[in-house]
Every structure is written in structure tokens, then in C-alpha cells.
RNA sequence: UCCCUAGUAGCUCAGUUGGUUAGAGCGGCGGACUGUUAAUCCGUAGGUCGUAGGUUCAAGUCCUACCUGGGGAGCCA
């Protein structure tokens, strides 16, 4: 008999149908005559209730059916006598693929803290919460490729190992095959990288953007979607040492086109989640509602699905940096001295400022543009005012900066001058500058932190809970 | 990296101004009972109190250092 996924059984199964299902036991409830097994195979958040007659299968077999044991079950679908489900499976044959010792299996049929499950990240997929998160994560990854493919973008694979450290996006992880103890030294007493694998210092990438620009200025519209590495000692709920980033880069796009794309893209993903992941979203939403009950009234946040719909239905606010500074300086917290950090033109906005703008003032996602050039990267297009650059940051409630992007400086002379001002080595970047020497065009792009977006889409609070195997300072288990 | 906070049973926690043999609920195990829904009821096992020092007649409790988790900040996506 062909095995059916539990999702297929629950959505399309007919009473009287003979089926074969395979999966893992979520819970078993025993009694004298009959056992109830909640079986889950990962295809859906919902379990299939299996009814096993004690006399038919015997105590010994049923004794080995514990939480997380792997089973194959053949039987007939019947209308359920219980109230929790419409259909259930009356077992006629049970195969135990793998037992699960209940005294040793760490995940119990009870609520666990996310911290505990993080320490058992190898098994947390077997919980309802994490299976939901990772199904949604998959759906979002798929939707990202679909979105760009449908729009005629090409998926460009930029390198993981790079010799460029010019972007200054953060501390990098060194890639080397030289011995860690007593590496070869040159005449100056420094490590001799000419003897290293690549004959020069190399690192794990912090961004595929610069290479993305090379692709965009020939293929037109490209995007990258790959792992990115930052060796920053960041210990927060929003940072990982290894995370995934989506970086579209488009020729002939100016800042406004870039903003339009970013907003349309985010809304597409949210719509895709609402259309395709509703069971999982409902589960996560209920879970969050339970947690919210323990919080004081004023700290409660909007219900998850409502929040997703809200973002979908409202235009993002577009606001210049200069306007944002005015708003902040006229705000109550500023006048009452509640902000910890100063607010004046030229400073980089702090979390507290961004949160005020997004959560208190506009109460919608905000795209901030035209930042002072001194707080942004060298490659951003310099505006005519001589003070600002065509940068854009998309700010989301709770998460903060979810997208950072800009129109790029396409003028060779302006770019070189800016690089020199900011001590970016122009000689090492000859290949990048060639895009401006040969057929340069206005172009723009942005980077979306995949995990930060998944935080928003799932309502989870810690970035370590939306990536399967989180890499953070002092933690590379599994 | 900085500030705050926590580490006691498999999990979530309680443990008074330092004072006998460190507790509960859940989970596990055994039994009873029942078409059950995180079942219910009865019973039972299970702990070097994060690690290393120190103070004291006496430390889960006080002090110091370190490790790890959580929250916030910085850096950023």
C-alpha cells in the first residue's frame, strides 16, 4: 500500500478508506481496552489520532509505543467518536521502526521553555512549535525564489570565501589552512599568507552585495540568497554569527524603485505565508496569546495574524532622515528627556529612536531614506545636497531594521573620491570600480536578513529559534 | 563588549534573618479506571543545590573568581 502523508489523510481522507501512514508518536493515552496514539509525520501541525485495540496488539507492543517512537500504521479511516478530530485511523497493523526510551528521551509531552529546547536543538523539530517555525521558514525561502523568478531576476551565487574585506560590514571569520600554532612568518615577523591556501588572507563573506553589483550590471536584475557570517560579539535576540541574507541588486533602479520593490517584496512574502501556512500561523498565534496573558496590558503586542494582515493592508511610511530627526526632537520622550541617547542631525539613530518612530509615532513599517553620508557606506549614491546619501532602511515594529539598502554611487570619480575619504583601498577594489568604468548605470539594491523576517512572520522572539542550528558567540553545538 | 538577572530532581519552580533527614507540580515507572484529547485517581523512584575557592561551630542560603542561560544596550541584517 502506498504511504500517505498525514496532511493528505486529514484533508482528503474518506471514511472507509484503507491507508498506510508513517510518523512519530506525539502522545499516547492508554486505557484497558484501547490506546490512542497522536501521530505526526511533519507534513502538518495536526496529528492523526490512531486507535489501537489493546487485545489485538498486546501489552508488549503497545508498551514500546512511547513519545517520539517511529511507527508505520495500516488501518481504516473512520469517523471519530471523540470531539477533537473528524477522522481517525483504526489500526490493523503497527510496525515499530524505532523505539524511544521514555526515561531518556528529553522532550516530554508537556510545555517546555524555548531555552530548554534550544539546548536540545537536535530534537526540537519534533515539537509543534518548531515544526511550525521551520515549515514557515521553508515556505518563505520558496516564496523568495518564486517572487524573484516571476519578476525575471536571476539567482546569483556569490562567493562564501572572499578576499575582500572592504565593505566594513563587521568583523570577519578568517579562512585559512595555515597551522594555528606557529604559522609561517615573513621577514617582518607577520603571518606569511603567501603560503596560505589562496596565497592571500581570506574570510567568510559578510555580504554578497559587491559581487551582486557585478551581476546586475550585465544580467539586469539579480538576487543572492545565501549564508553570511559576522564575527561580532553580539549577544542579542536579533543577531547570529551565521545567518542568511537575501540581496537583490537591480540595474536602472533608482532609490524610489528600490523602495517600491522592497515594500512589494515584503508584502508578497507575508501574503504567501497567510495563503499557505495558515495552520502553522494559527498554532503559533495561539501559543503567543497564551504567553501574552502573563504580560502586563501595555506590553502586549498585536495578535500574529492580525499583525501580518495589518502590514499587508497599509502603505509603508516613507520619511527622510532629516524629517525623522524633527519628529524625534518634537516628541514627548525627547522633551521629557526620556531618550538615553542624544537626538541631533548627523547621529545614527538608536534602537530607542527607531522604536519610537515605528511603534509610537507612525505605528506602521517605516522606510527611512537620505541618511547623512558620514554614517553610511562608501558605495551609496551621494545626493545633490552634498550631505546625504540615497540610503534606505526598512524598520519593522519590535524587530527594528529588517532591510538596509541604497541606490549605489554610479559615478566613477565621486565613488573613488569617497573611497579615499573613507580609507577604502581602491587598488584592491579594481574589479568593483570597473563596473563604473565600463557602461556604468544607475543601480540599487538592498539586503533582507532572512531570520529577522522569519521572526516577524512567526512572531517568535529570539532569532536563535528561527534557524535550525544557531551559531552565536560561545555556541556552535550540533 | 557593557549593565541587569538567573543557575536546586528529566522539566518548571519554591526553599524565611545561615541551623536537623532539601520540597511541590508536571514528566517517568507501577497499579486502578475510563472513547481518550497536555485524560483522571492511587502509589513510587529520582538531587555532589553551575564550577572552584573562601568566611563560619554550621552554607542551597554570605563573599570572590570563573562558566553557562535569559533580558536590555552597543554593533548590525
Q: Which residues 438-477 of chain A have a CB under 7 Å from nucleic chain B?
A: 447-449, 451-452, 461-464, 472-475
Specify the pLDDT at position A169: 60
Distance, CA of A342 to CA of A357 (rounded, Å): 15
Per the listing, cell 502586549 goes with: A300
Instruction: Encode chain A (478 residues) as per-residue pLDDT tens digits.
Output: 899 999 999 999 999 999 999 999 999 887 778 899 999 999 999 999 999 998 888 888 888 899 999 999 999 999 988 877 889 999 999 999 999 998 889 998 888 999 999 999 999 999 999 999 999 999 999 999 999 999 999 999 999 999 876 566 668 899 999 998 889 999 999 899 999 999 999 999 999 999 999 999 999 999 999 999 999 999 999 999 999 999 999 999 999 999 999 999 999 999 999 999 999 999 999 988 887 776 655 556 678 999 999 999 999 999 999 999 999 999 999 998 888 899 999 999 998 999 999 988 998 999 999 999 999 999 999 999 999 999 999 999 888 899 999 999 999 999 999 999 998 889 889 999 999 999 999 999 999 999 999 999 999 999 999 999 999 998 888 8
Helix (H) or strand (E) holding A282: helix A278-292
- Protein residue nearest nucleotide B74, by CA to C1': A234
Residue A101, class by beta-carbon neighbours within 10 Å (0-12 exposed, 13-18 middle, 19+ buried)? Answer: exposed
Q: How many residues are there in chain A?
A: 478
Specify the pLDDT at position A181: 86
Is residue A244 helix, strand or coil?
strand
Q: Is the CB of A54 under 7 A from strand B?
A: no
Strand segments, DSSP code E, in A80-213 are 87-98, 154-155, 161-162, 174-175, 202-204
DSSP A122: T
The dihedrals phi and psi of A32, each to the nearest 5 degrees, come to -65, -45
What's the CA–C1' distance between A236 and B76, in Å? 11
Specify the pLDDT at position A60: 84
**pLDDT tens string A90-123:** 999 999 999 999 888 999 888 899 999 999 999 9
Specify the pLDDT at position A25: 94
At a CB cut-off of 8 Å and minimum separation 6, what does A173 contact?
A: A203, A204, A229, A231, A241
Q: Is the CB of A348 under 7 A from strand B?
A: yes
What's the CA–C1' distance between A437 and B26, in Å? 69
Specify the pLDDT at position A166: 59
Chain B positions within 7 A of any protein Cβ atom are 1-2, 10-13, 26-30, 33-39, 67-77
A36 pairs with which residues across the strands?
A29, A51
Contact A303, A285 (CB under 8 A): yes
CA dihedral A475, A235, A359, A267 (to 10 degrees): -40
Q: Is the CB of A62 under 7 A from strand B?
A: no
Q: In what order do the strands lie in the sheet with A154-155?
A: A154-155, A221-229, A242-251, A443-449, A400-407, A388-396, A366-372, A317-320
Q: Is the CB of A235 under 7 A from strand B?
A: yes
Per the listing, cell 528600490 goes with: A258
Look up residue A107 and give its three cell numbers: 522532550
Q: Which nucleotide is nearest to A233 (CA to C1')?
A: B1
Nearest to A403 by CA among A233, A266, A256, A269: A266
ipTM of the complex model: 0.90
Q: Which residues 171-200 of chain A have a CB under 7 Å from nucleic chain B?
A: none
Amino acid at each position: 500500500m502506498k504511504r500517505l502523508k498525514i496532511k493528505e489523510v486529514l484533508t482528503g481522507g474518506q471514511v472507509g478508506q484503507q491507508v498506510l501512514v508513517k510518523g512519530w508518536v506525539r502522545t499516547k493515552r492508554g486505557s484497558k481496552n484501547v490506546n490512542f496514539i497522536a501521530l505526526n509525520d511533519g507534513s502538518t501541525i495536526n496529528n492523526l489520532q490512531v486507535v489501537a485495540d489493546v487485545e489485538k496488539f498486546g501489552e508488549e507492543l503497545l508498551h514500546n509505543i512511547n513519545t517520539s517512537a517511529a511507527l508505520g500504521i495500516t488501518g481504516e479511516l473512520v469517523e471519530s467518536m471523540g470531539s477533537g478530530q473528524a477522522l481517525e485511523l483504526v489500526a490493523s497493523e503497527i510496525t515499530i521502526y524505532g523505539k524511544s526510551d521514555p526515561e531518556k528521551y528529553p522532550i516530554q509531552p508537556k510545555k517546555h521553555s524555548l531555552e530548554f529546547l534550544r539546548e536540545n536543538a537536535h530534537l526540537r523539530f519534533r515539537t509543534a512549535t518548531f515544526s511550525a517555525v521551520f515549515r514557515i521558514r521553508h515556505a518563505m525561502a520558496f516564496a523568495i525564489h518564486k517572487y524573484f523568478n516571476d519578476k525575471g531576476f536571476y539567482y546569483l551565487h556569490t562567493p562564501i570565501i572572499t578576499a575582500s574585506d572592504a565593505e566594513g560590514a563587521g568583523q570577519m571569520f578568517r579562512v585559512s589552512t595555515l597551522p594555528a600554532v606557529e604559522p609561517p612568518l615573513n621577514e617582518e615577523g607577520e603571518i606569511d599568507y603567501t603560503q596560505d591556501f589562496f596565497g592571500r588572507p581570506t574570510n567568510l563573506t559578510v555580504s554578497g552585495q559587491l559581487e551582486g553589483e557585478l551581476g546586475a550590471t550585465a544580467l539586469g536584475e539579480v538576487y543572492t540568497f545565501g549564508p553570511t557570517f559576522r564575527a561580532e560579539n553580539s549577544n542579542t535576540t536579533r543577531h547570529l554569527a551565521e545567518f542568511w541574507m537575501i540581496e537583490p541588486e537591480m540595474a536602472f533602479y533608482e532609490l524610489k524603485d528600490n523602495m517600491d520593490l522592497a515594500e512589494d517584496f515584503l508584502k508578497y512574502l507575508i501574503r504567501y505565508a497567510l495563503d499557505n501556512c495558515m495552520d502553522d500561523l494559527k498554532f503559533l498565534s495561539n501559543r503567543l496569546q497564551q504567553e501574552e496573558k502573563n504580560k502586563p496590558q501595555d506590553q502586549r503586542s498585536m495578535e500574529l495574524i492580525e499583525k501580518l494582515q495589518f502590514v499587508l493592508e497599509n502603505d509603508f511610511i516613507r520619511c527622510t532622515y532629516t524629517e525623522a530627526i524633527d519628529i524625534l526632537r518634537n516628541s514627548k520622550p525627547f522633551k521629557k528627556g526620556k531618550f538615553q541617547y542624544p537626538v541631533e542631525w548627523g547621529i545614527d539613530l538608536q534602537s530607542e529612536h527607531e522604536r519610537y518612530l515605528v511603534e509610537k509615532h507612525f505605528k506602521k513599517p517605516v522606510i527611512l531614506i537620505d541618511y547623512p553620508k558620514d554614517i553610511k557606506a562608501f558605495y551609496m549614491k551621494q545626493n545633490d545636497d552634498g550631505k546625504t546619501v540615497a540610503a534606505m532602511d526598512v524598520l519593522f515594529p519590535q524587530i527594528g531594521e529588517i532591510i538596509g539598502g541604497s541606490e549605489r554611487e554610479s559615478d566613477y570619480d565621486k565613488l573613488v573620491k569617497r573611497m579615499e575619504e573613507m580609507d577604502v583601498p581602491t587598488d584592491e577594489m579594481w574589479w568593483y570600480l570597473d563596473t563604473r568604468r565600463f557602461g556604468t548605470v544607475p543601480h540599487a539594491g538592498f539586503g533582507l536578513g532572512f531570520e529577522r523576517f522569519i521572526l516577524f512572520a512567526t512572531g517568535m522572539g529570539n532569532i536563535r529559534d528561527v534557524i535550525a542550528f544557531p551559531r552565536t558567540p560561545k555556541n556552535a553545538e550540533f
